Amino acid sequence: MEEFNIGAQIKAVLESRGMSVTEFAKRINKSRENCYSIFARKTIDTGLLQTISTVLGHDFFMQFSSSYQQMSEETQKLRDENTILKEYYSLLKGKE
């Protein structure tokens, strides 16, 4: 499973909107340097993410939620497989 990188997602949406980093920085009340720092982040404060979501017109929370949901489904599949393997092991152990 691919790791969710919020900074890279923000940068991609910014570029797709055709907005300059300078304009983006003004709208979120940060410096250009801070914006480049944001693009490198794997995590972000929810208040700042809300501001960025509003400025870019993109719901990053929903995007993260979808990624989280996919991870939860993968985790459940692995748990189910583990249960089956334990049952197989128990059956094989009983034949010894």
Sequence spans of domains, the chain: 6-94
Average pLDDT over residues 74-79: 83
CATH architecture of 6-94: Orthogonal Bundle (1.10)
Counting residues of the chain whose pLDDT is more than 70, the rounded percentage is: 88
DSSP letter, residue 4: P
Is the pLDDT at 64 greater than 90, yes or no? no
Confidence grade of residue 18 (pLDDT, cut at 50, 70, 90): very high
CA pseudo-torsion sign 23, 39, 67, 72: negative
Among 18-27, 45-54, 82-91, the range scoring the smallest mean pLDDT is 82-91
- What pTM was computed for the model? 0.65
Cα(75)–Cα(92) distance, rounded to whole angstroms? Answer: 26
